[in-house]
Chain A
């Protein structure tokens, strides 16, 4: 049976935040889960993206991404050799006020000495009948180091002026399997 323990939760304050970082992640669990409820302030966007890095590494990220949105659009794309992991979707400022995108970032066996594949599933909320999106991706960090740090940042990684807005939350869970 798997046991979930909330390691840390962060809630963005009124000034927003360019990034959320979990540091000194314990190495005592089997898997990690980051559960996110976020919204960003990228001008003119209903939806936007968030990216992430492990251990401050700026190389070796790849993804295969499938998505569907607004009743009738489906597609899938892949990319390799990125400087930050991609893609999780989230709400932008043109979505309905006070709605957030919800995403799970699941990282199995994060301390092993193999490359780190992980799973990203998310939806955007908009509370209307025509604008919504589901997104799922298989993501890879081609690195054998144990993960001890996760940095999340609105696309592009580096942030510029794009921030997580107030009330966005991120909770890091450690999962033990007995």
Chain B
């Protein structure tokens, strides 16, 4: 059974406590939900980076130098 460390600050005593079945079930549900959220965050970050690269390429095609493109972002 997985455990957690519990520190009682009023006594300074640390205990190793087994998780309940309910806590484990909740943990598994949260883990699945977090995996989806993390995948969505990464996808959004990659889409943002791709859009930026596409915009920079279009600006370069219009004749802007790399320095001029970089200056637009400041």
- Known pairs A8-B9, A25-B9, A172-B7; A159 contacts B41 (CB<8 A): no
Question: What residue of chain B has the Cβ atom nearest to residue A8's Cβ?
Answer: B7
Least CB distance from B8 to A in Å reads 5
Contact of B19 among A13, A18, A75, A172 (CB under 8 A): A18
Query: In the assembled complex, which residues on chain A have CB atoms less than 8 Å from the CB atom of B3?
Result: 15, 17-18
User: Does B45 lie within 8 Å of A75, measured CB to CB?
Assistant: yes
Check if A71 is an interface residue, CB within 8 A of chain B: no
Question: What residue of chain A has the Cβ atom nearest to residue B30's Cβ?
Answer: A158
- Known pairs A75-B45, A157-B30, A160-B30; A17 contacts B4 (CB<8 A): yes
CB-CB contacts of A1-45 with B at 8 A, as 1s and 0s?
A: 000000110101101011111111110000000000000000000
Query: In the assembled complex, which residues on chain B have CB atoms less than 8 Å from the CB atom of A158?
Result: 23, 26-31
User: Does B27 lie within 8 Å of A17, measured CB to CB?
Assistant: no
What number of A-B contacts does a CB cutoff of 8 Å give? Answer: 76
Least CB distance from B6 to A in Å reads 5
Query: In the assembled complex, which residues on chain B have CB atoms less than 8 Å from the CB atom of A156?
Result: 27, 30-31, 33-35
Question: What residue of chain A has the Cβ atom nearest to residue B4's Cβ?
Answer: A19
User: Does A10 lie within 8 Å of B30, measured CB to CB?
Assistant: no
Query: In the assembled complex, which residues on chain A have CB atoms less than 8 Å from the CB atom of B19?
Result: 18, 159
Check if A89 is an interface residue, CB within 8 A of chain B: no
Question: What residue of chain A has the Cβ atom nearest to residue B45's Cβ?
Answer: A75
Least CB distance from A84 to B in Å reads 8
Which residues of chain A have a CB within 8 Å of any CB of chain B?
7-8, 10, 12-13, 15, 17-26, 75, 77, 83, 153, 155-163, 172
Enumerate 27 A-B pairs (CB-CB under 8 Å) in ascending A order. A8-B14, A10-B7, A17-B4, A17-B5, A18-B4, A19-B5, A20-B5, A21-B6, A22-B9, A23-B6, A23-B8, A23-B9, A24-B10, A26-B10, A75-B45, A153-B4, A155-B34, A156-B27, A156-B33, A156-B34, A157-B30, A158-B28, A159-B30, A160-B27, A161-B31, A162-B31, A172-B7
